[in-house]
Amino acid sequence: MNRLSLPPLQNPEKPRGILRPVRRRDEDTDETCLRLDGHGHSVTVLVLKLSSDMEVLWEQARAQDAITHKTQFAIMKLEQRQSSALTDLRGRVARCDDSIAAVAADLHSTKDNFWRLRKEHSVSTKLLESKIRELENKVHLIDRKAELANALAKTQEISERDMSSDIARLKALSEEMKAQVASVQSWLKEAQESLLTSVERLDHLVKHKTKNSTDNVTEERFKQLYKKLDDMEDTQRLRAVQIHEDNMEEIVDEKIHKIQERLRQQTQEIRTEMNTGFAIVHDSIGSLKAVLKAEMRLEKEQLLKQVRLSWNKGKGDRIQD
């Protein structure tokens, strides 16, 4: 059999040159696939990173919402405490006003008692003057009787012994009455000085009590009263005046002492309550400042974290490119 004989290849290198572009195309395809796989992996990593960052941001947003809710609750609580404290302070101020009104009423009653005692003093002074006149009339009568006794003794020629005894007795009685009048006058002088001292003390106490008051009319009345009492210096005669004035001084001193003690206690209570209220407000403001500072610090940290994340993300994108 005659076989078909093929002519020999003239250029044996020619088929190798034909397959080289095909291999290069396959290599480019593989490289492209590898690049696509690398880009897909990078995209997957970025997506996972973005999802984790979003979860972190969501957690931070929830935490910030919780902090904001707590801050609002704290502010509402502070407002309630402040409103209750202000209401309490208003009530205490109202009670203080009532106490001041009660003190004013006590002062008015003290003034009424003072005028009543003054009237009683004037009445007792008149009675004392009338009794002093009676004593003076009795002394004059005794002197006249002594003179008449001397005249009768001379005219009737009574014995010297009886006459001398009668005269001595009458003189002794006259001297005794004069001594009584002198003692009464000296005692009245002492009572007058004691009364003036008590009046000055009363005036000093009243002035000290009303020195911060704006009641100029009352002060003028007390000045007029002091002048009148000075004018009555020569008409105050017996120990009853001193007793009345001592009682008046004791009553006024007791009233003023009670008023001063009440005012001192109420002032101390108001100061304590005001200090407590101011301390509560100061603590509330301090806690609010602390909360605001903590919130600002958290917001600053969150902003720095976001900036760092954005910067790291941009840096990673530039490295991948």
Highest mean pLDDT among 66-70, 155-159, 296-300: 66-70
Residue 7: pLDDT band with limits 50, 70, 90: very low
Distance CA 151, CA 149 (A): 5
Query: Rounded mean pLDDT of 185-211?
Result: 59
- Residue 104 or 233, more confident: 104
62-78: average pLDDT: 86
Cβ contact 218:210 at 8 Å: yes
Element housing 133 (H / E):
helix 14-156
Q: How far apart are CA 271 and CA 96, in angstroms?
A: 12
Listed range (10-19, 80-89, 112-121) with the worst mean pLDDT: 10-19
The domain locations on the chain are: 75-290
Distance CA(181)–CA(198), nearest Å, equals 25
CA distance 111 to 222: 10
Average pLDDT of the residues in 15-25: 51
Identify the pLDDT of residue 242: 54
Confidence of residue 320 (pLDDT cuts 50, 70, 90): low
Handedness of CA 233, 236, 237, 243 (dihedral sign): negative
Q: What is the model's pLDDT at position 29?
A: 78
**Rounded-to-integer distance, Cα 262 and Cα 65, Å:** 54
Range of lowest pLDDT (28-37, 197-206, 236-245): 236-245
Closest among 163, 234, 167, 166 to 196, alpha carbons compared: 234
User: For the purposes of burial, counting CB atoms within 10 Å of the CB of 195, is it exposed (0-12), middle (13-18) or buried (19 or more)?
Assistant: buried
* Angstrom distance (rounded) from CA 146 to CA 154: 12
Name the percent of the chain lying above pLDDT 90: 0
pLDDT at 72: 86
- The pLDDT-based confidence of 12 (bands split at 50, 70, 90) is very low
pLDDT band, very low/low/confident/very high, at 113 (cuts 50, 70, 90): confident
- pLDDT of 125 strictly over 80: no
Say which residues have a Cβ less than 8 Å from residue 150's Cβ, sequence separation at least 6: 167
Model pTM?
0.27
| pLDDT, average across residues 223-236 | 58
- Which of 13-22, 27-36, 123-132, 184-193 shows the lowest mean pLDDT across its residues? 13-22
Cα separation of 26 and 240, whole Å? 142
pLDDT at 22 over 60: no
- CA distances to 197, 243, 251, 309 from 109, in Å: 23, 21, 11, 83
**Is it the case that residue 57 has pLDDT exceeding 50?**
yes
pLDDT tens across 25-34, in order?
666 777 788 8
Closest CA to 257 of 311, 194, 314, 208: 208
Average pLDDT along the chain: 68
> How far, in Å, CA of 70 to CA of 64, rounded?
10
Averaged pLDDT, 268-285? 66
Residue that has been written with the tokens 């840096």 in this structure: 315
Q: What is the rounded average pLDDT of the residues 299-317? A: 67
